[in-house]
Amino acid sequence: MTVQLGQIAPDFEQDTTQGRIRFHEWLGSSWGVLFSHPKDYTPVCTTELGAVAALKEDWDKRNVKVIGLSVDPVDSHHGWEADIAETQGTAVNFPMIADPDRTVSNLYGMVHPEADPTITVRSVFVIDPNKKVRLSLTYPPSAGRNFAEILRVIDSLQLTDRHKVTTPANWTPGEDVIIAPSVSDEDAKAKFPGGWKTLKPYLRLVKQPV
């Protein structure tokens, strides 16, 4: 199964390091980041889990719940978490899904047909409060994930959900944004009374709305 953007994220019930959860119920009205690891005790993923744990305040202020996944059982996850706390200086403060039967991995297309069928690829899914998948990324085994970029995309998604704007290349919060093409100049006058800069009729830059 391949999960497409805009689809409802598949629901599941599975054991985690913080007890058994039903995914949609656990998410509630929050945004979610689900990210997978090929197996426990892998070096790149050890650094990633520590990095995600260190960003707890950043996730919280965006109303984001994070959850990891590995195909190993819960007892193995707990042992790995001890290593992560020791080597990364931050205890894992979010649940890790145990997926030894590959239920979740198969629901989300995390087992690549040309890879080892016993391990998952390194995927990331950003899910909104309506349970829709808004971003999916797949990383190679050798490159650690950039969670600053994932936070940046969540900032963009949350901003553009509130206002009829889009964000340009390399945008960071506070920079100018683009008025959505669906907004006419007449409507834009009401929405953006401070005015905007027109580079082309289809490219209108405006200060980021609050």
pLDDT (tens, 9 = 90+) of the chain, 210 residues, equals 578 999 999 999 999 999 999 999 999 999 999 999 888 998 999 999 999 999 999 999 999 999 999 989 999 999 999 999 999 999 999 999 999 988 998 899 887 665 555 555 689 999 999 999 999 998 887 889 999 999 999 999 999 999 999 999 999 999 999 999 999 999 999 999 999 999 999 999 999 998
Q: Is 72 a catalytic residue?
A: no
Q: Which residue has the tokens 């889990």?
A: 49
Q: How far is 78 from 201, CA to CA, in rounded Å?
A: 56
Contact (Cβ atoms closer than 8 angstroms) between residue 165 and residue 178: yes
Packed helices 43-54 and 74-88: angle between N→C axes, nearest 10 degrees: 70
Contact (Cβ atoms closer than 8 angstroms) between residue 176 and residue 208: yes
List the domains of the chain with CATH numbers.
13-145 (3.40.30.10), 163-206 (3.30.1020.10)
pTM assigned to the model: 0.92
Q: How far is 68 from 55, CA to CA, in rounded Å?
A: 14
Q: How far is 35 from 120, CA to CA, in rounded Å?
A: 11
User: Which residue of the set 34, 45, 64, 111 is catalytic?
Assistant: 45
